[in-house]
Structure 1
Amino acid sequence: MLIRIVRMTFAPERVPEFLEIFRSSEDKIRQMPGCQHLELWQDADAPSVYCTHSHWESAEALNAYRGSGLFGQVWPATKALFAAPVLAFSVYPAGTQPYSSALPTS
Structure 2
Amino acid sequence: MQFEEDKIEVFKALFEAQKHKIRNVDGCEFLELYQDLNNKEIFFTYSYWKDEKDLENYRNSELFKNIWAATKKNFCAKPEAWSVQKLVSLK
TM class, shorter-length: over 0.9
Once residues 58 and 82 of structure 1 are traced to their aligned partners in structure 2, the CA distance between those partners, rounded to angstroms, is 28
2:12 is aligned to 19
> Is 2:54 the counterpart of 1:56?
no
Once residues 94 and 37 of structure 1 are traced to their aligned partners in structure 2, the CA distance between those partners, rounded to angstroms, is 17
Query: Quick one: percent identity of the two aligned structures?
Result: 36
Q: What does 1:1-106 correspond to in 2, within 5 Å? A: 8-94=1-87
Q: What are structure 2's unaligned runs of at least 5 residues?
A: none
Counterpart secondary structure, 1:16: helix
Counterpart secondary structure, 1:47: coil
User: 1:32-64, CA deviations, whole angstroms, 9 ceiling, x for partnerless residues?
Assistant: 000000000000100111000000011100000
Higher relative contact order (CA 8 A, sep 6+): 1
Once superposed, what is the RMSD of the aligned Cα atoms? 0.9
Once residues 68 and 24 of structure 1 are traced to their aligned partners in structure 2, the CA distance between those partners, rounded to angstroms, is 17
| Pairs aligned (count) | 88
Q: CA deviation at 1:31?
A: 0.3
Once residues 64 and 77 of structure 1 are traced to their aligned partners in structure 2, the CA distance between those partners, rounded to angstroms, is 19
- The TM-score normalised by the length of structure 2 is 0.94
User: 1:11-30, CA deviations, whole angstroms, 9 ceiling, x for partnerless residues?
Assistant: 10000110111000000000
